[in-house]
C-alpha cells in the first residue's frame, strides 16, 4: 500500500504574497466564510480548507469566490480530472468525437450513460441559470487570479466509468441503463433551495443511502473510491494552506480518509472483465444450436425448422423493436431484424453494432450535430433527434432487444424440444 505522500512545503508557493489583503479577524471571517467550509489538518500539519459544493449552484460559485478572497490559499484543488478539465477549457471538444470508433470499441453504453448524466445536470443548471460545474470553473479562475497551483484531484473519468461498468452484472447494467434513459423523460423541476438542501448532512446522507440501496455496486467506484483518490491527491497538493473544492457528497469520505494508507495505483487500474459473460456468450449459442440439432433427430426436419423460425422471429422482432424505439431509419430497423438471429449465435458481433453502423451510415453525424449535442441532450426530443445520440440509442436498445429475444426464444425452443 502506498502511504499518502508528505511533500515538503515549497517556499516559492507558501511564501506570503505582496497582493494579499490585510488580515481579518476570526470573527469577520466566520461571518463571511461559507457554511460548508471545514478547516482540517493534513497528516504533515499543513492546513486544508475543504469546501463542499453543489455542481449546479450559484451559491457554490459565490462560496468558492468568498473562500479564495478570504483565505488566499497556496494551492487550489478541484474535483476534475485532466479530460474533464480539457472539456471545460475547450467546449468544442465534442467536434472530435468519432462515433464509428466508439461503436468499434464497444463503448456505446458508456458514452450513452455519460451523456444522460450530463443531460440531467445541464437541465437543472439551465433551470437555475447556472453553468454546469460553474463552481469548478470559478476555482480554475481563482487559481489563475491568485497565481497558485491548480491541482486536478479527481480520477480519470474513463477509469471511473469502466470500473463502475465492470462492477455491474448483466441485469444491474440493464436496470441502470433503463433508469438513466428513463430520467431523460422526467420533467420535474428543481429549485435552488432543493439544490442547497442537498449540500446539508442529513439530506445528503439520505440520498447516498438510497443510491447504495438501489445500486450497491455503483456507489463503491463512483463515490467511495473517488473519495480515496481525492483524499490522496489533496494531501499531496503543495503549499502550507490548501483549498479543496469538491462535491458535498465527497466531503465526509475525504475527511475520514485523510492520513489513511491509500493504494493509488490500485484505484487507477481497470479490473479485468469477469469470465462469466464470455462463457455465457459462447454457452448460449452452443445450447441453442444443440437444441436445434436435437429437435431434428427427435422430431425431424419440420420440428427443427419450426424451432429455427421461432428463433429468427422472436430474436429479430425484439431487436427491430429496440431499433424502432430509438427512431432508427427503416434500413436500421431491417438490419436489426436480420442481424439479431445471426449475431446472437456469434459472440464476436452484437446486433446493436450492426444496426448502429447502419444508422451512422444512413444518417452520418455532421460537425454541426456534434456541436449541437451538448444542447440537444437536455431535452427528450433533442436526445432522440440528434444523429449522434440516436446512434447510441440504436446500439443499446437493439442489443437489449436481441438479448431479451435470445432468452425468450431459447426458453420456448427448450420447452417444445425437451
pLDDT (0 to 100) of residue 209: 56
Neighbours of 5 (CB within 10 A): 11
Mean pLDDT of 121-129: 54
Strand partners, 241: 47
pTM listed for this prediction: 0.68
Here the cell at position 137 is: 470553473
Per-residue model confidence as pLDDT tens digits over 68-122:
999 999 999 999 999 888 877 776 666 667 777 777 777 777 777 777 767 655 6
- Tell me the average pLDDT of the chain: 80
* Percent composition of the chain: helix, strand, coil (DSSP 3-state, to 5): 65, 5, 25
Q: Where are the domains of the chain?
A: 11-268, 275-417
pLDDT (0 to 100) of residue 23: 44
Per-residue model confidence as pLDDT tens digits over 389-414:
899 899 989 999 999 999 999 999 98
**Cβ 47 vs Cβ 241: under 8 Å:** yes
**Cβ 131 vs Cβ 125: under 8 Å:** yes
Here the cell at position 145 is: 487570479
Please tell me the least confidently modeled range out of 48-62, 148-162, 184-198. Answer: 184-198
pLDDT (0 to 100) of residue 9: 33
**Cβ 317 vs Cβ 339: under 8 Å:** no
SS3 292: helix
Amino acid at each position: 500500500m502506498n502511504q499518502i505522500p508528505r511533500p515538503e512545503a515549497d517556499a516559492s508557493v507558501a511564501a506570503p504574497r505582496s497582493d494579499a489583503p490585510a488580515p481579518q479577524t476570526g470573527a469577520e471571517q466566520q461571518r463571511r466564510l461559507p457554511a460548508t467550509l471545514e478547516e482540517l489538518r493534513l497528516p504533515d500539519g499543513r492546513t486544508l480548507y475543504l469546501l463542499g459544493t453543489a455542481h449546479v449552484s450559484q451559491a457554490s460559485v459565490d462560496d468558492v469566490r468568498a473562500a479564495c478572497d478570504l483565505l488566499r490559499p497556496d494551492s487550489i484543488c478541484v474535483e476534475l480530472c485532466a479530460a474533464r478539465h480539457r472539456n471545460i477549457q475547450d467546449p468544442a471538444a465534442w467536434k472530435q468525437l468519432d462515433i464509428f470508433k466508439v461503436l468499434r470499441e464497444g463503448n456505446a453504453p458508456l458514452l450513452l450513460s455519460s451523456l444522460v448524466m450530463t443531460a440531467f445536470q445541464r437541465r437543472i443548471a439551465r433551470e437555475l441559470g447556472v453553468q454546469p460545474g460553474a463552481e469548478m470553473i470559478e476555482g480554475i479562475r481563482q487559481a489563475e487570479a491568485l497565481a497558485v497551483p491548480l491541482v486536478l484531484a479527481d480520477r480519470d473519468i474513463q477509469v471511473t466509468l469502466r470500473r463502475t461498468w465492470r462492477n455491474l452484472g448483466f441485469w444491474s447494467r440493464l436496470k441502470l441503463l433503463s433508469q438513466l434513459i428513463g430520467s431523460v423523460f422526467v420533467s420535474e423541476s428543481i429549485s435552488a433551495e432543493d439544490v442547497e438542501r442537498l449540500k446539508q448532512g442529513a439530506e445528503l446522507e439520505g440520498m447516498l443511502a438510497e443510491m447504495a440501496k438501489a445500486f450497491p455496486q455503483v456507489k463503491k467506484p463512483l463515490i467511495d473510491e473517488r473519495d480515496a483518490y481525492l483524499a490522496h491527491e489533496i494531501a499531496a497538493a503543495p503549499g502550507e494552506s490548501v483549498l479543496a473544492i469538491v462535491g458535498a457528497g465527497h466531503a465526509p469520505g475525504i475527511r475520514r480518509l485523510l492520513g489513511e494508507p491509500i493504494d493509488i495505483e490500485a484505484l487507477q487500474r481497470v479490473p479485468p472483465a469477469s469470465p462469466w459473460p464470455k462463457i455465457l456468450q459462447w454457452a448460449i449459442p452452443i445450447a441453442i444450436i444443440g437444441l436445434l440439432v436435437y429437435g431434428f433427430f427427435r422430431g425431424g426436419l419440420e420440428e427443427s425448422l419450426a424451432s429455427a423460425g421461432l428463433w429468427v422471429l422472436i430474436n429479430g422482432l425484439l431487436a427491430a423493436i429496440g431499433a424502432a424505439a430509438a427512431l432508427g431509419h427503416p434500413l436500421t430497423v431491417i438490419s436489426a431484424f436480420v442481424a439479431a438471429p445471426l449475431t446472437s449465435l456469434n459472440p464476436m458481433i452484437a446486433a446493436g453494432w450492426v444496426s448502429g453502423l447502419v444508422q451512422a451510415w444512413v444518417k452520418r453525424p455532421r460537425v454541426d450535430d456534434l456541436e449541437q449535442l451538448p444542447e440537444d441532450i437536455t431535452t427528450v426530443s433533442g436526445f432522440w433527434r440528434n444523429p449522434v445520440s440516436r446512434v447510441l440509442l440504436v446500439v443499446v436498445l437493439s442489443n437489449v432487444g436481441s438479448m431479451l429475444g435470445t432468452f425468450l426464444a431459447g426458453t420456448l425452443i427448450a420447452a417444445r424440444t425437451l
